[in-house]
Amino acid sequence: MGNDREILNEIPKHVAIIMDGNGRWAKQRGMPRIMGHQKGVDTIREIVRTASDQGVRYLTLYAFSKENWNRPKDEVGFLMNLLSQYLDLEIKELRKNRVRFNVIGRIEDLPGQIQEKIRKTVEDTKNEPGLLLTLALSYSSRVEMIDAIKKLCEKVVRNELNYSEINEDCVSRALYTANLPDPDLLIRTSGEMRVSNFLLWQISYAEIYVSPKFWPDFTKEDFLEALKDYQRRERRFGRTERCKSV
């Protein structure tokens, strides 16, 4: 890792990113969409390094949504192969940068070989002390909430939980992200002004930063600018300035 630490204070503990625009990046250049996804992996590598260098503790990337299964078969197949290659090739990079690997989503939807590679990568990096990198795969925030509701209902039926005891903390612990703090900063690339069914519960008070750049063009400098913009925000969590000082 480099020593070019440019951000000195108020680092967001958890940054989540909607990596959007791979296909449009490729289309602008007269390339197949799959080339945009390929280039997007290079961006992931650079942003993981930068986040780690800057002291971000948690980085969550929206890599493949439940809805993405509806894309053309050849594109889905390429994305699965790309994910498989990433898991094979990036383990050394992750360990070099002391990064732990994590996944959220309906992992059982993925091909069996990829599920096994995910388990191995999680196991091989579990003791790394640095950044926790989480990929959201076959992920849908609404499905996540439904799964959480079912989990809580099962506890009530088994008399392990009284329905009157269900509160925000209880729901948070039932989500896929139970081991993660809520994001402080949500970044979306490609200029789109929507959250696309990503971490809907968890981003309730996240600061949102939208970059006009497509994900393959999003650089270290762009990420640093997002962190600097976050530092200029005043996070009130629904309170007024007067209430903050009480």
Residues with catalytic function: 20, 68
CB 54 within 8 A of CB 227: yes
Is residue 176 assigned to a domain?
Answer: no
Query: Does 222 appear as a known binding residue?
Result: no
CB 6 within 8 A of CB 224: yes
23 secondary structure, DSSP code: H
> pTM for the whole thing?
0.92
Query: Does 29 appear as a known binding residue?
Result: no
Is residue 159 assigned to a domain?
Answer: no
Which residues span the domain enclosing 75?
14-151+181-244
Query: Does 142 appear as a known binding residue?
Result: no
pLDDT one-digit tens code per residue, 172-229: 999 999 999 999 999 999 999 999 999 999 999 999 999 999 999 999 999 999 999 9
Is residue 8 assigned to a domain?
Answer: no
Question: Which strand (E) or helix (H) includes residue 210?
Answer: strand 207-210
- With bands split at pLDDT 50, 70 and 90, how would you rate the model's confidence at 236? confident
Average pLDDT over every residue of 56-82: 97
Q: Provide the number of structural domains found in the chain.
A: 1
Is residue 219 assigned to a domain?
Answer: yes
Is residue 87 assigned to a domain?
Answer: yes
pLDDT one-digit tens code per residue, 20-34: 999 999 999 999 999
C-alpha to C-alpha distance for 220 and 60, rounded to whole angstroms: 16
Query: Does 52 appear as a known binding residue?
Result: no
> What mean pLDDT, rounded, does the chain reach?
93
Largest separation between any pair of C-alpha atoms in the chain: 59
C-alpha to C-alpha distance for 173 and 201, rounded to whole angstroms: 12
Is residue 105 assigned to a domain?
Answer: yes
CATH of the domain at 110: 3.40.1180.10
Is residue 2 assigned to a domain?
Answer: no
